Amino acid sequence: MEAETEALVVGGGQAGLAMARALTSQRIRCLVQERLPRAGDAWRQRFDSLTLFSSRRCSALPGLPVPGDPDGFPSKDEIADYLERYAAMLAVPVRTSDGVTSLSRQDRAFSALTESGRRIVARAVVVATGPYQRPRVPAFANELAKSIAQIDLGGYRCPADVPPGQVIVVGDGASGRQIALELARTHRVSLARGQRRHFVPQRLFGRDSMLRFAQLGLLTADKESWVGRVVRSQDAIPGLHLRDAALGRAGITLLPRVIGAAQEALALADGSRAQPEAVVWACGYRDDFRWIRVAGALAASRAVEERGLTPVPGLFHVGREWQTCRASALLYGVSRDAERIAAACRRHLDDTGDRARRTFVRPRTPDTRR
């Protein structure tokens, strides 16, 4: 099986769907490849109680509002269903359950192979796999005894997944704090913290704080501007209920950073040790670009890109954290970057098309004269 298109979008989440819409507006023929069974499934796979920090009003892609109270906060399953409806609305083929397993470059085109054995030839490729690809777990986790249950962000769904007893949640970002607070109702919980965190109310003057930040331009301030640098350095988490003091009142013990492990214990930064019955690794996520086999696209397994542009002509990224601003990986802001990348894609296609026409040599007509 083989398909040919002008642009291939790898990933059918919010970034991929926003990209497909932007490419269509540039009159670029494209298709979307998604490895999961349904558009939006990346949201469905996250823990059951996950609720967005941004309101429905501030969590929509262009052209389709999120159903429900605009000032309420949607669940992760609501957003998953919303993305599935958005995919159906687009006049773009979205092929699910068929992820891209390899991407190579041949002459002026890219060749992608999928899990089903399908080959897709495209003149441009946009990587839209998002920031939540593989849960990050430190290498020293292998040093823990097998009697200690270990669960990462990809495996945790609800407190019932965690054996009874002492649980240590390692990682104190938004997800780690939410999980620790949820587990505290049924388990003895400790939270191992890392860097200093900043918090803001989830509502400001009766409205979603993320919406207020958007209105002030904080979410879309360029990452190199002084405003963008301040926003990035603060990296504030909406929700005062997640502050250290609030977690302490919920019965959660706060620990220093985890720096190692040996058998039944975790080593902490202050030289002490903690002995859990279970560990939840909430250390964030890492990229997985092993499927990209294009010279110049990766360096030490990391994507080589700046603002979504790469050294490889025709290869782009969208939906990466802080690609251009705080909102780059959010439902609220991903479309802004998608429109910029679609315009760059249009220029690439026009340029390569012009060069192809300029270098085309018409075959000589045989001389039939006698």
pTM for the full predicted model: 0.90
Task: Take residue 205 and report the two structure tokens written for it.
Answer: 């003057």
Strands (E), 15-56: 30-33
Q: What CA–CA distances, in Å, run from 193 to 244, 332, 342?
A: 10, 29, 40
Task: Check if the beta carbon of residue 279 is closer than 8 Å to that of residue 173.
Answer: no
- Average pLDDT on 169-197 reads 94
Task: Take residue 187 and report the two structure tokens written for it.
Answer: 């388990």
Q: Taking 50 as the threshold, does the pLDDT of residue 153 lie above it?
A: yes
Q: What CA–CA distances, in Å, run from 264 to 37, 187, 261, 267?
A: 39, 18, 8, 10
Task: Take residue 200 and report the two structure tokens written for it.
Answer: 């803001």
Residue range(s) occupied by CATH 3.50.50.60 in the chain: 2-133+287-356, 136-198+235-281
> 32-48, pLDDT tens digit by residue?
999 999 999 999 999 99
- At 123 the pLDDT is 97
Looking at domain 2-133+287-356, its CATH class is: alpha beta
Domain 136-198+235-281: give its CATH superfamily.
Answer: FAD/NAD(P)-binding domain (3.50.50.60)
Q: Taking 70 as the threshold, does the pLDDT of residue 50 lie above it?
A: yes
Q: Which amino acid is at 348?
A: H
The residue behind tokens 């796999």 is 129
Q: Taking 90 as the threshold, does the pLDDT of residue 180 lie above it?
A: yes
- At 370 the pLDDT is 33
Question: How does residue 133 score in pLDDT terms, banded at 50, 70 and 90?
Answer: confident
The span from the CA of 337 to the CA of 347, in Å, is 16
Q: Taking 80 as the threshold, does the pLDDT of residue 363 lie above it?
A: no
The span from the CA of 342 to the CA of 27, in Å, is 10
Q: Taking 50 as the threshold, does the pLDDT of residue 212 lie above it?
A: yes
